Structures are given as C-alpha cells and as structure tokens.
Amino acid sequence: MNNEITSAVLGKLKQEEDFPDWWKSVEFDIPFFGNEKLTITFMDFDPDEDKTFIDEADKALTSFLKLNIEDRNGISELAYKNCMEFLAAVDFDKADEPLRQIENRNEIWNFIHPTEIYVTRRPYKDRDIYVQISCECD
C-alpha cells in the first residue's frame, strides 16, 4: 500500500505508522476556530476497500471549512449546557469557578481547545462521512 493519499481539499496525507488506516494532513487554518491551525486525519480508511471515501470526505470538509466563528457561536448554548451538566455531576472544585461565572454563552469557547479533526465513515447503518472535532477543555 502507498504511504500517501491525495485529497483535492487537503493535498497529500501521510499514512500513520501506528495506525495504517489513518492518514494525516499538514496543519490547516480552521475558520470555525478563528483560523487556528489543526491537522486533519482520515480515520478507518483503506484506499483499496473504499474507492469513494476521499471524494466524499472532500465534500464534507469543503462544507465544514466554510463554517466560521459565527457558526461556532451558534452552538455555544449546546457547549455551555454540556459543561454545566458535567459540573453538576462532579464534586465542586474551586478551579471550575471561572466556568460557573460565564455570562455570555460564547465565552465557553475560551475554555474549549480543539486538538485535531477526524474524518471517518460511519461503519454501520447510514455509512455517511462524519467530521469530528477532538477538543480538550479546562
């Protein structure tokens, strides 16, 4: 198997050594996160088995890369709600106080730190392509 694939959107992706069905891009500006640079990884992809994956992934990525901070802020309430539900479920920690002080829901993004973007095909049922954002949070 070749150790590179080519995406019309991302260019060359290199095969990961430890995970041969993972293909990693160079860092890209992600408008959804104010042009923060992140790598994009095609996961669970065997070029010999799934001939349409790259084209479908490129379509999904084209749509995703059109999203900007305003689109991100459109889901701030969901991210905030998830955070508050988590805080309600764990023991009180003074370090979490800045989260409890959030007044504007868009401030939640100051505590969420994207680490990488994954593109994968759902392995069952709809078999659609999914763009997943991996994040860490304070």
Burial-class residue 126 by CB neighbours within 10 Å (0-12, 13-18, 19+): exposed
Domain boundaries of the chain, sorted by first residue: 4-137
Residue-wise pLDDT for 26-76, tens only, equals: 999 999 999 999 999 999 999 999 999 999 999 999 999 999 999 999 999
Entry field: residues in the chain: 138
Binned at pLDDT 50, 70 and 90, residue 9 comes out as: very high
Angle at 25 (CA atoms; ends 22, 30), nearest 5 degrees: 120
Average pLDDT of the residues in 2-22: 95
Mean pLDDT, all residues of the chain: 95
Cα distance from N-terminal residue to C-terminal residue, the chain = 40
pTM of the model: 0.89
Residue-wise pLDDT for 87-108, tens only, equals: 999 998 899 999 999 999 999 9
Helix (H) or strand (E) holding 7: strand 4-7
Tell me, what's the pLDDT at 17?
94
The residue ranking higher by pLDDT, 1 or 69, is 69
Q: Are 5 and 47 in contact (CB under 8 A)?
A: yes
Q: Are 37 and 30 in contact (CB under 8 A)?
A: yes
Tell me, what's the pLDDT at 126?
80
